[in-house]
Amino acid sequence: MQRRASAFSGYAIEATDGHVGVVDDILFEDDTWNLRWFVINTGSWLAGRKILIHPSSLERPDIRERAFPMMLTMAKVEASPDISSDEPVSGQMDRDLNTSYGQNPSWGDSFYGTATWSGGSQTASRPGNPHLRSLFEVMGYHIHALDGDIGHFADFLVDDETWKIEYAVVDTKNWGFGKHVLVAPADIKDINWADRYFRIDLTRYRIKSGSSWKEPDFSDQPKNLPFRNPA
């Protein structure tokens, strides 16, 4: 089923033996267009740690209860990596900016090699995945079409079984079109952190003429949805 990715914000994460936290953010890769991690705020259980949970560890979401069951114990969840081990570009760049102003934040080991990307008038180079993005960071970024601006990024539609991003949702109401339209990830050519925009390889006419989208009504969904086995 296609779902708005941001709709999972605040979903409870339930291990086999107890509650472990809530969804605080979602990290995605802008080269594969897969959801990479759910960022879980563990609250008082683990003294405010934010940990990374791979989507394959989650069962099918329970829409009515706003919860994800898991096939993991609390001990397994506690051993999950912290967000500092695989930070999105926004976190990497924020830390570089802090360091340039005399601060010395502690960085965890990365799963990736050294990468270089543009940061406005400066270029930063440090270990990290240059394709890892925070969903809640990029929401509201402007949309640059081939012939000018048109709207802003509102959300992604994802398949809640494969966790593949299927469409970007573009809000065009401030440009006089008054609707949300869908754009395929293949047409997104760049996400610019410094200037907060998506560059899309389509004209404004093509974007505004795309398929419109409206939030479906989930009120008639059964309370307990069938679960899937982790991939």
- Is 57 found in the same domain as 42? yes
Residue 139 has a pLDDT of: 96
Q: Which of 54, 85, 116 is the endpoint of a domain?
A: 85
Q: Residue 37 is part of which domain span? A: 2-85
Residue 216 has a pLDDT of: 76
Q: Tell me whether residue 75 is in a domain.
A: yes
> Could you tell me if 177 and 171 are in contact, meaning their C-beta atoms sit under 8 angstroms apart?
no
- Is 78 found in the same domain as 23? yes
Total domains in the chain come to: 3
Q: Tell me whether residue 228 is in a domain.
A: no
Q: Tell me whether residue 148 is in a domain.
A: yes
The tens digit of pLDDT for each residue in 13-52 reads 999 999 999 999 999 999 999 999 999 999 999 987 999 9
Dihedral of alpha carbons 138, 139, 142, 147, sign: positive
Residue 143 has a pLDDT of: 97
CA 85, CA 112: separation in Å to the nearest integer? 10
Residue 129 has a pLDDT of: 87
Q: Tell me whether residue 53 is in a domain.
A: yes
CATH of the domain at 71: 2.30.30.240
pTM value is: 0.78
- Is 94 found in the same domain as 81? no
Residue 112 has a pLDDT of: 29
The tens digit of pLDDT for each residue in 114-126 reads 333 333 333 344 4
Q: Tell me whether residue 222 is in a domain.
A: no
